[in-house]
Structure 1
């Protein structure tokens, strides 16, 4: 009797690869979909000081763009393209943070497309699909949660990376003018784009392009770097140390390269970064004569340059976890380095079985994404108290704005542009009561001290407290019952004895007299009183 053939054996050979490629394509799409979902569900409000600082700097009180200010530095670095994107968001899209978070996702997708375009046609479709899946998981990693949640960080950092990777991908094809244009745009975006011309020159050198191309790009890089050094403001920025500190800076650079392998443990990230750098050096040395590897060696060099720039410009003893290389947005350096390592390893070890390659890539993808969960949680916890910014801006509570380091001088321009929270989309989230509307104090119930209290009542500044009712929102009123402010709830614990999620913060419009604070649960109001010993 003839044995029955297996179903796989009777399928045409041309159809079997498509099944595997389709599965890898779906696997590659998953992290991008997760990042996009996060970006779409991010808060409407910009809560980070950089957005409001830049908007105040580049506009007049009528909301007009001051072009000369666009050309000035932010945090010691070029900031032309992010400044224009911030202004466009405020002027055309109502200052909606989600517009910039989605744009950040699109730019990261563009980085992935540039990397994929550098994979050689000689690779089998399955290997290309596996590498594309790995790069997608590395680029859309959970470690980068802060750029999916707040577009300020994404647009400050990612355009420079995108244009540099675009320049590298064009140089990988020997295209001088498109590579030069992309490098110039990178240089105008942020400090992360300053190495772009040097990366292009290195790729041309590896490709053995005409010497004039390499010299021209290297010379352009020198001009850009020298121009920045001669014109940048003096002094340190963002609390960065000015000490020599070679050990500390080396630790930061290594942690940035290995940050995908640690949530909040600096030693693990440093060890992973050192191993990544060693493997990249070994692969680059072995593949340096392979023209297919030129662009990837350039990407590896760029990842290392990013890590060094972070170490030189952002090293601070005040960094969370003691190492600033663990900051969420800097994980893009580790993502690029690991992507380059995957590609270079494929060139150096083409004999590796496809099954082993796929299993290895899936393991790396899922492991690094899982490790990023801790970093994403820390990012959300860090952003939670900043959500008071829209209320503080709308009520012009300068005391709270000062505490959030947001310049109150931006308010006239934001009003003129109709940027959130100065548009009809603003709400206190209290199911009806808004700023200026009356409530009936007689309908409120006094909240027993055992269930919550005000801990710091400061009209016009920050009002803090706690309650175990988990209210929908906090309202403040003046003596006549008119709503003069509001707040945010479910905050991380500010002190021992207050469980996570029970804290709240609020603010009220200055100059409206004594305030009363209410916790709103559904359609019920609970009047919150001061705790014994609270500050007045």
Structure 2
């Protein structure tokens, strides 16, 4: 081979090599959010949260059997047919594991992502297609959605409504009305945000110029579903605290749509929601104009994306109507992130497909910019979720002690403890522990071996303080802060005057205020919280560091 031939061959191969590198990098960008979501699942606590306890208690008989007759009641206006089954199976098969529900949520998210990938038009090829897939992955598994993965009960419930809806829209996008109807019904049994799926399916069929029966099936199904939803028991809630107007409902709706662009400012979220909705309106105008022209041989490739955008917009409007009475900032609640993320995904794909030539020509950088920016801004949601993790051991101990005040204070339900014991849901499992590497509830500690922990003002990094007034008593929130050699304690116990372990709780709680006070320097995770058995009086709080236990003696001096 001549030198000229070798040079020509190199010039041809080099672009192909660079293209493979770019494609590989884009696949990594798409895969990393999925892995981070899984990592969050296993970082999250084992103990479940809030609504899991209520739904499980409502739909389980005292003997632990599932009571299907209770599932037709709406809870806070939401259907719970599917989620009650999932929660009960989690209790039976995985001891009520929050992490198991987190994994289930990841699987639901992957199913939604696969359905969206199936709707991408064939014009997206090569690096553009991979970039769009990566962008969709970054949105579905955004840091703004960490709430769903870290608090699995929430993710399971919301995505049991949204994922079947996305799948239904994907089937309708390809003209498969019957499976679309089946998944639409599942969406309505999963969560209230699944209800707008029927309007989306009608829109998709209309844009596709489908036959009349394909429009009538979802239209009739939607009418029946709306009627059943309005007639179902449990559909009303307490009166909203705010005096509202049409502006409040609009603002809450727009804040819900734009929340991934602001973690704290309602005004910015409203502006982002309005701008995104305006982009959608401009694209919808062209879609409607094409549909109203005489029939063309090709059907629109973007019908499904228009349906998804319509679905999420209607769901956001439902949030505005039902939750606007709690204030415009309600639209920024982390649990609504999925609506904003799916709405943004739909508008992004529509813009790349039907936007100005400049937008279509720069699909890769635009997609990556949206993906990276939304993932970064979502850290506010993620931080709010993670702040709940360290407190869960206190609820676990309160449940074991049957301490009703502390159970209620931590958003669980004392009346359902008997059912949880019957199901052997964690913390009612054999592997429950106070985390002290030995002493458990009912064990004895020799108080003569315990050191007293100095109080504030001792001029040392071994210091602690009880902030709860009234002393160490049973079924109350006993909390404070401590550090030993500038480090957080490994665990916390509560003992009675005889040294019997009557309680425990959580350590490593965030306490930035302690180290920024200028009085003490050490860990920023010096906080602790504990609960003692009901009836306990004049107890003592012990903290372990290494092999040594320290008694917190300071409880009257003001904290720094």
1:364 matched to 2:382? The reply is: no
1:490 matched to 2:515? The reply is: no
Q: 1:442 to 1:8 in 2, by over 3 A?
A: farther
The aligned residue for residue 248 of structure 1 is: 248
Q: Deviations over 1:394-418 (max 9, x none)?
A: 1111110121231112211111111
| Contact persistence 2:75–2:235 (CA under 8 A) | no
TM (norm. structure 2) is: 0.89
- Structure 2 SS opposite 1:489: strand
- Structure 1 SS opposite 2:96: coil
Q: Within 5 A, what are the aligned runs for 1:120-269?
A: 120-233=121-234, 235-236=236-237, 240-241=240-241, 243-269=243-269
| Contact persistence 2:147–2:381 (CA under 8 A) | no
Q: Deviations over 1:251-283 (max 9, x none)?
A: 111111111111212111111111000001112
The aligned residue for residue 478 of structure 1 is: 496
* Structure 1 Cα separation of the partners of residues 403 and 57 of structure 2: 17
* Structure 2 Cα separation of the partners of residues 494 and 390 of structure 1: 25
- Structure 1 SS opposite 2:529: strand
- Structure 2 SS opposite 1:527: strand
The aligned residue for residue 287 of structure 2 is: 287
The aligned residue for residue 506 of structure 1 is: 530
Deviation at 1:245, TM superposition (A): 2.6
* Structure 2 Cα separation of the partners of residues 7 and 431 of structure 1: 66
- Structure 2 SS opposite 1:292: coil
Q: Within 5 A, what are the aligned runs for 1:336-351?
A: 336-349=342-355, 351=357
* Structure 1 Cα separation of the partners of residues 514 and 503 of structure 2: 27
TM (norm. structure 1) is: 0.92
* Structure 1 Cα separation of the partners of residues 492 and 60 of structure 2: 33
Q: 1:459 to 1:498 in 2, by over 3 A?
A: farther
Of residues 319, 322, 344, the one that matches 1:310 is 319
The aligned residue for residue 444 of structure 1 is: 450
| Contact persistence 2:74–2:232 (CA under 8 A) | no
Deviation at 1:123, TM superposition (A): 2.7
Q: What is the total number of aligned residue pairs between the two structures?
A: 529
Deviation at 1:174, TM superposition (A): 1.0
Deviation at 1:292, TM superposition (A): 0.4
1:275 matched to 2:275? The reply is: yes
Q: Within 5 A, what are the aligned runs for 1:4-83?
A: 5=7, 9-11=11-13, 17-46=19-48, 48-83=49-84
| Contact persistence 1:168–1:299 (CA under 8 A) | yes
Q: Deviations over 1:76-114 (max 9, x none)?
A: 221111111110001111111100011111111111110
| Contact persistence 2:143–2:378 (CA under 8 A) | yes
* Structure 2 Cα separation of the partners of residues 522 and 62 of structure 1: 43
Of residues 464, 471, 488, the one that matches 2:479 is 464
The aligned residue for residue 453 of structure 1 is: 465
* Structure 2 Cα separation of the partners of residues 419 and 234 of structure 1: 29
- Structure 2 SS opposite 1:465: strand
* Structure 1 Cα separation of the partners of residues 331 and 255 of structure 2: 5
| Contact persistence 2:495–2:540 (CA under 8 A) | yes
* Structure 1 Cα separation of the partners of residues 10 and 231 of structure 2: 66
Q: 1:142 to 1:230 in 2, by over 3 A?
A: same
The aligned residue for residue 399 of structure 1 is: 405
| Contact persistence 1:77–1:232 (CA under 8 A) | no
Deviation at 1:334, TM superposition (A): 1.5
Q: 1:393 to 1:498 in 2, by over 3 A?
A: farther
Q: Deviations over 1:212-236 (max 9, x none)?
A: 2212211110111121112243543
* Structure 2 Cα separation of the partners of residues 484 and 344 of structure 1: 60
* Structure 2 Cα separation of the partners of residues 8 and 260 of structure 1: 45
Q: Deviations over 1:31-54 (max 9, x none)?
A: 1111111112211111x2211111
- Structure 2 SS opposite 1:27: helix
| Contact persistence 1:62–1:412 (CA under 8 A) | no
| Contact persistence 1:241–1:314 (CA under 8 A) | no
| Contact persistence 2:243–2:325 (CA under 8 A) | no
| Contact persistence 1:167–1:182 (CA under 8 A) | yes
* Structure 2 Cα separation of the partners of residues 12 and 381 of structure 1: 49
Q: Deviations over 1:461-489 (max 9, x none)?
A: 21122223321111011222121110112
* Structure 2 Cα separation of the partners of residues 436 and 315 of structure 1: 49
| Contact persistence 2:79–2:190 (CA under 8 A) | yes
* Structure 1 Cα separation of the partners of residues 490 and 252 of structure 2: 41
Question: What stretches of structure 1 of length at least 5 have no aligned partner?
Answer: none
| Contact persistence 2:73–2:233 (CA under 8 A) | no
Deviation at 1:22, TM superposition (A): 2.7
- Structure 2 SS opposite 1:425: coil
- Structure 2 SS opposite 1:122: coil
| Contact persistence 2:244–2:325 (CA under 8 A) | no
Pick the structure with greater CA Rg.
2
| Contact persistence 1:431–1:522 (CA under 8 A) | no
| Contact persistence 1:385–1:505 (CA under 8 A) | yes
Q: 1:258 to 1:453 in 2, by over 3 A?
A: same
Give the root-mean-square deviation of aligned CA atoms.
2.5
* Structure 1 Cα separation of the partners of residues 229 and 10 of structure 2: 61
Question: What stretches of structure 2 of length at least 5 have no aligned partner?
Answer: 291-298, 457-462, 518-523
